[in-house]
């Protein structure tokens, strides 16, 4: 190895060591955020190792059911400017998970065309800690009452995703069209649309399959309990995993607008 080569390598190595020492030892040592838990922790922080978060504490199931009293006024269109104000709020806080216009490829629920009473109820439940989600609870906590109704007005104003119409009624799962009276399972379509739509029940067509299956599971296990009078818990508890899968598939079929 020539002298030039040798010194080039030594210089580069020394330079790297000095910058690393400054970046990982000297600079962080000047800040209490870095030095709080000792030298090794300080180096880890400077290297960008994330702190553990979301350790389950925030996602503990709520102890009580919902405090929200459903009211027909929640379903009425608000003042003309509510949707515009809601769009600004949604743009800043909701689009990341729920898609730029309420439709998403992720497993977060689609909100486009969702009934305003549904969004108001769920946001209030999150705000009051009755529906568990570390992300949604902290976002909802900051919303004023008017923010909630504005966001709801915005999403309600967007076009609903619709499934391909079913020509053959035999292909609709039995639980959706007739339920199973002997097990005390009401037909989905009796509240979620198709037969009848009840205040506070969401539009389900085009929802992500994972989301539907997960929520039915959470109702069945009692992990989610913000349904008034245990309406969904009583239904979901009676369903088998295969049935949960079947109705989730049905509502999540390729959406058409």
Partner 1 sequence: MFAARKLVLAHFWVAFVAFGAAILLGEWQMLVRSPMVGWVSNPEHYYRSVTFHGVVMAYVLPTLVAMAFGYAVCELALKRPLVGLKWAWIGFWLVIAGVVLAAIPMATGYASVLYTFYPPMIAHATFYIGVVLVVVGSWVWVGLMHVNLRAWQRENPGAAIPLAMFGTLAGAYLWAWTSLGAAIEVLVLILPVALGLKGTIDAGLARVFFSWTLHAIVYFWLMPAYIAFYTIVPRAIGGRLYSDTMGRVAFVLFLVFSMPIGIHHLFGDPQVGAGFKFVHAAMTALVSVPTLLTVFTITASVEIAARLRGGQGLFAWVKALPWKEPAMLAVAFSFVMLGFGGAGGIINMSYQMNETIHNTQWVTGHFHLIFAGAIVIMYFVIAYDLWPQLVRGVSLPAKLVRTQLWLWFVGMMVLTMPWHLVGLLGMPRRMAYFDYSNPALQSQAWTVTASTIGGLMLVVSAVLFIYILATARRNVAEPAPYSFARSLHPDDPVPAGLNGFALWIGMMVALTVVNYGFPIAQLASVKESSVPAIHMGRP
Give least dist CB 89 to partner 1, A.
18
**Judged by CB, which is closer to partner 1: 9, or 141?**
9
CA distances from residue 9 to 5, 6, 19, 133, 141 in whole angstroms, order as listed: 6, 5, 16, 53, 56
Tokens 């989610």 belong to 224
Query: Which of positions 6-45 make contact with partner 1 (CB under 8 A)?
Result: 8-9, 12, 15-16, 19-20, 22-24, 27-28, 34, 43, 45
**Judged by CB, which is closer to partner 1: 24, or 157?**
24
d(CA 181, CA 81): 45
Tokens 């743009």 belong to 91
How many residues make up the chain in this entry? 257
d(CA 168, CA 30): 71
Give least dist CB 94 to partner 1, A.
11
Give least dist CB 27 to partner 1, A.
6
Instruction: With beta carbons less than 8 A apart as the criterion, state whether 110 and 146 touch.
Output: no
d(CA 257, CA 160): 7
Q: Which of 38, 54, 56, 181 binds partner 1 (CB under 8 A)?
A: 54
Of 3-11, 125-133, 221-229, 245-253: span binding partner 1 (CB under 8 A): 3-11
Give least dist CB 201 to partner 1, A.
24
Query: Which of positions 89-128 make contact with partner 1 (CB under 8 A)?
Result: 95-97, 99-101, 103-108, 112
59 interacts with partner 1 by CB under 8 A: no
**Judged by CB, which is closer to partner 1: 23, or 79?**
23
Q: Is 235 left (phi over 0), alpha (psi -120 to 50) or beta?
A: alpha
**Secondary structure of residue 140 in the 3-state scheme:** helix
**Judged by CB, which is closer to partner 1: 81, or 196?**
81
49 interacts with partner 1 by CB under 8 A: yes
**Judged by CB, which is closer to partner 1: 16, or 164?**
16
d(CA 101, CA 93): 12
217 interacts with partner 1 by CB under 8 A: no
Residue 115 CB partners (closer than 8 Å, separation 6+): 75, 156, 197, 201, 202, 203
d(CA 36, CA 51): 13
Give least dist CB 25 to partner 1, A.
9
Residues engaged in binding partner 1 (CB under 8 A): 2, 4-5, 8-9, 12, 15-16, 19-20, 22-24, 27-28, 34, 43, 45-50, 54, 95-97, 99-101, 103-108, 112, 257
């Amino acid at each position: 190895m020539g002298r030039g080569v040798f010194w080039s390598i030594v210089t580069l190595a020394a330079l790297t060591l000095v910058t690393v020492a400054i970046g990982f030892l000297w600079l962080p040592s000047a800040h209490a955020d870095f030095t709080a838990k000792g030298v090794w922790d300080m180096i880890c922080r400077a290297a960008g190792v994330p702190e553990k978060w979301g350790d389950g504490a925030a996602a503990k199931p709520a102890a009580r059911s919902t405090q929200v009293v459903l009211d027909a006024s929640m379903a009425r269109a608000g003042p003309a400017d509510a949707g515009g104000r809601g769009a600004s709020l949604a743009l800043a806080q909701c689009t990341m998970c729920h898609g730029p216009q309420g439709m998403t490829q992720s497993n977060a629920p689609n909100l486009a065309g969702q009934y305003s009473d549904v969004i108001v109820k769920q946001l209030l439940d999150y705000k009051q800690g009755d529906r568990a989600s570390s992300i949604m609870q902290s976002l909802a906590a900051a919303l004023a009452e008017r923010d909630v109704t504005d966001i709801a007005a915005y999403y309600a104003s967007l076009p609903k995703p619709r499934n391909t119409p079913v020509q053959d009624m035999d292909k609709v799962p039995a639980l959706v069209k007739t339920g199973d009276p002997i097990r005390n399972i009401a037909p989905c379509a009796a509240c979620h649309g198709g037969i009848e739509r009840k205040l506070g029940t969401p539009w389900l067509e085009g929802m992500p399959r994972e989301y539907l299956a997960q929520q039915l599971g959470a109702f069945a296990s009692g992990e989610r309990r913000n349904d008034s009078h245990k309406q969904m818990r009583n239904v979901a508890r009676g369903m088998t995993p295969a049935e949960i899968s079947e109705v989730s598939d049905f509502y999540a079929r390729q959406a058409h607008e």
